[in-house]
């Protein structure tokens, strides 16, 4: 069942006046090694409903109007003398905690009544259902993000080098930060808070564990590894050997007699395909392979650098994360020798990001509608603007406008995004022959600038009416 058609529940477990004069709080029940929810026997109807709620159902635990946690029911109803002695409820269900509710995500006043157990049937206009639905969508999305990051981290550990590829706006550069943080600091758990992720990222960068650079057409070996740099000394110009960013981070990652730690070091290369990778890495391409690394590699290799004449190797605790725009064909393709040494992860456009990140219902609805008209809904994309305008041999997914282009807090901000980011991008695609321009494009663009979807049937009717009046 789609979450858009899902029935939710909400429950208030404590007895308002307590039992035997004591107040019973719900939170300790959720903090058990195996979290539970429970009810008493004061209402036969509600007790029977509690017992019959299907496993897998989503339930909000609250105290009055204060939301405590969103849970999934994972077991049938049962009784427990041990639990009853602690919490005074008679019926219990085991639950999985999907997430505790922070202060900033509390419901508006009076959204929830003081009832004990109630269901919320699918209805976006009802504040109870809408509130729980938004929580559930966001939390499940975060769980997916965490699972995905775990997979990406494991791939990075195994391969040592990965490239995040995808269309513009799919979050490639954005993803490098939590990926780097997860690898460098496995104990970091606040991945849902991007500000905290970036604070930890900056700390690791300041300490030298993370380095960032961007490739471009004029980048070469001398900039990246080492080269001769001019230096003015009095009236004379001399040349000194200067280490590039790759050599610097490799040297930091290498263990020494004084420092035997093997903490991870990460080099992030943004727009990796915009440079000539073979020329920039030179002979060091071979050293990127996991088994050619010093430290843990089965067949470690050292080379003598051309300028310093010193032995050089790539340590096993250095990891490379690259990003690549799959739409950009103005640059050279990545050759097979380079591809063999990298694993490729494709980031796709994802409307769920829009669903979870935009809090305003009206803005979110318009953003999703625009996203679907331009990109498709993920099931039938053939009637989308991109699909009907596609030219050449591009993959449809590579041409979609990424979800980040649609993230806006207000209607005005969404209109600005459409006017100054989305429409110019599509115009550029048309100019470059990636998309094929059509007669009604300007009508599409005019409506999108207003934050509205273009309706061809309405436009056609308006044209006919205009023609009839002129006649």
**Is residue 148 in some structural domain?**
no
Q: What number is the average pLDDT over the span 212-231?
A: 90
Asked if residue 98 and residue 35 are part of one domain, the reply reads yes
Co-location of 279 and 340 in the same domain: yes
pLDDT band at 261 (very low <50, low <70, confident <90, very high): low
Only one residue has tokens 């590579």, namely 398
Same domain? 456 vs 336: no
Does residue 146 fall inside a structural domain? no
List C-alpha distances in Å: 458 to 444, 461, 464, 466. 12, 5, 10, 12
pLDDT at 139: 81
Residues 187-203: what's their mean pLDDT?
89
Domain boundary (126, 144, 169) is at 126
Q: Is the pLDDT of residue 1 over 70?
A: no
Instruction: Record the tokens describing residue 357, joined without a space.
Output: 């990140």
Round to whole Å and give the CA distance between 438 and 442.
Answer: 9
Q: Is 305 contained in some domain?
A: yes
Q: How confident is the model at residue 144 (pLDDT cuts 50, 70, 90)?
A: low
Last residue of one domain, picked from the residues 79, 104, 126: 126
Rg (alpha carbons) of the chain, rounded to whole number: 29
What's the pLDDT tens digit per position in 410-466?
999 999 999 999 999 999 999 988 899 999 999 999 999 999 998 865 444 433 433
CATH number, domain containing residue 295: 3.40.50
Q: Is 153 inside any structural domain?
A: no
Which of 134-138, 295-299, 454-458 shows the lowest per-residue confidence on average (mean pLDDT)? 454-458
What's the pLDDT band for 329 if we cut at 50, 70, 90?
low
Q: What are the structure tokens assigned to 120, written together? A: 């919320």
Judgement on whether residues 362 and 319 belong to the same structural domain of the protein:
no
Q: Are residues 233 and 337 in the same domain?
A: yes
| Shared domain check, 78 and 22 | yes
Pairs from 387-396 (Cβ < 8 Å, separation ≥ 24): 388/438, 389/430, 389/435, 389/436, 389/437, 389/438, 390/435, 390/436, 391/433, 391/434, 391/435, 391/436, 392/433, 392/434, 394/327, 394/434, 395/326
DSSP 294: B
* Residue 293, in any domain of the structure: yes
Say if residue 66 is in the same domain as residue 192. Answer: no
pLDDT of residue 383 exceeding 60, the answer is yes
Residues 338 and 357 in one domain: no
Domain end position, chosen among 284, 318, 346: 346
Write down the pLDDT at residue 9: 94
- Say which range, 43-52, 164-173, 286-295, 411-420, has the weakest mean pLDDT: 43-52
> Which pLDDT value is given to residue 417?
96
Residues 32 and 96 in one domain: yes
In a domain, 152, yes or no: no
Strand, helix or coil for residue 236: strand
Higher pLDDT, 272 or 259: 272
Q: Are residues 302 and 412 in the same domain?
A: no
What sign does the CA torsion over 417, 418, 420, 421 have? positive
| Global pTM value | 0.69
Does residue 320 sit in the same domain as residue 199? yes
pLDDT of residue 468 exceeding 50, the answer is no
- Determine the average pLDDT of the residues in 105-125: 86
CATH classification of the domain holding 112:
3.10.590
Residue 356 or residue 465, greater confidence: 356
* Number of structural domains the chain divides into: 3
List the domain range (segments joined by +) for residue 193. Answer: 160-346
Looking at residue 143, its pLDDT comes to 63
Where are any strands of DSSP class E within 148-261? 161-166, 210-214, 226-233, 236-243
Q: Is residue 231 part of a domain?
A: yes
Higher-confidence residue of 17 and 318: namely: 318
Please check whether residue 8 lies inside any domain of the structure.
yes
Asked whether residue 89 falls in the same domain as residue 113, the answer is: yes
pLDDT tens digit sequence for 6-24: 899 999 876 544 444 455 5
Contacts of 140 (CB under 8 A, 6+ apart): 3, 98
């Amino acid at each position: 069942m789609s979450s858009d058609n899902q029935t939710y529940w909400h429950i208030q477990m404590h007895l308002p006046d307590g039992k035997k004069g004591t107040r019973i709080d719900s939170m300790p029940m959720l903090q058990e090694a195996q979290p539970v929810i429970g009810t008493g026997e004061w209402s036969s109807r509600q007790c029977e409903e509690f017992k019959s709620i299907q496993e897998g159902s989503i339930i909000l635990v609250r105290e009055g109007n204060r939301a405590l946690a969103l849970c999934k029911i994972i077991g049938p109803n049962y009784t427990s003398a041990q639990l009853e002695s602690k919490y005074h409820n008679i019926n219990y269900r085991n639950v999985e905690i999907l997430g505790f509710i922070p202060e900033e995500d509390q419901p508006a006043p009076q959204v929830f009544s003081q009832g004990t157990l109630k269901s919320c049937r699918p209805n976006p206009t009802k504040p109870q259902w809408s509130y729980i639905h938004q929580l559930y969508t966001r939390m499940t999305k975060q769980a997916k993000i965490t699972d995905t990051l775990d997979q990406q981290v494991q791939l990075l550990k195994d391969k040592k080098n990965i490239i995040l590829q995808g269309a513009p706006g799919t979050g490639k550069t954005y993803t490098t930060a939590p990926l780097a943080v997860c690898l460098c600091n496995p104990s970091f758990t606040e991945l849902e808070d991007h500000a905290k992720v970036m604070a930890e990222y900056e700390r690791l960068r300041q300490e030298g564990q993370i380095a960032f650079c961007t490739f471009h057409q004029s980048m070469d070996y001398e900039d990246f590894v080492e080269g001769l740099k001019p230096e003015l000394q009095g009236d004379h110009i001399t040349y000194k050997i200067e280490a590039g960013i790759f050599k610097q981070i490799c040297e930091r990652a290498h263990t020494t007699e004084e420092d035997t730690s093997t903490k991870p070091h990460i080099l992030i290369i943004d727009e990796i395909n915009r440079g000539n990778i073979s020329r920039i890495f030179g002979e060091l391409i071979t050293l990127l392979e996991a088994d050619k690394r010093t430290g843990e590699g089965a067949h470690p290799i050292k080379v003598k650098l051309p300028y310093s004449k010193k032995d050089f190797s790539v340590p096993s605790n250095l990891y490379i994360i690259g990003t690549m725009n799959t739409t950009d064909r103005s640059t050279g393709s990545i050759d097979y020798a380079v591809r063999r040494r990298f694993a490729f992860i494709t980031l796709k456009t994802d409307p769920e990001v829009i669903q979870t990140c935009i809090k305003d219902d009206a803005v979110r609805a318009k953003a999703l509608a625009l996203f679907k008209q331009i990109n498709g809904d993920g099931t039938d994309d053939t009637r989308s603007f991109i699909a009907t305008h596609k030219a050449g041999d591009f993959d449809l997914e590579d041409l979609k406008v990424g979800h980040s282009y649609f993230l806006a807090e207000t209607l005005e901000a969404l209109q600005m995004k459409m006017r100054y980011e989305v429409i110019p991008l599509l115009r550029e695609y048309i100019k470059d022959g990636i998309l094929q321009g059509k007669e009604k494009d300007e009508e599409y663009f005019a409506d999108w600038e207003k934050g509205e979807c273009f309706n061809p049937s309405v436009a056609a009717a308006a044209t006919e009416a205009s023609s009839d009046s002129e006649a």
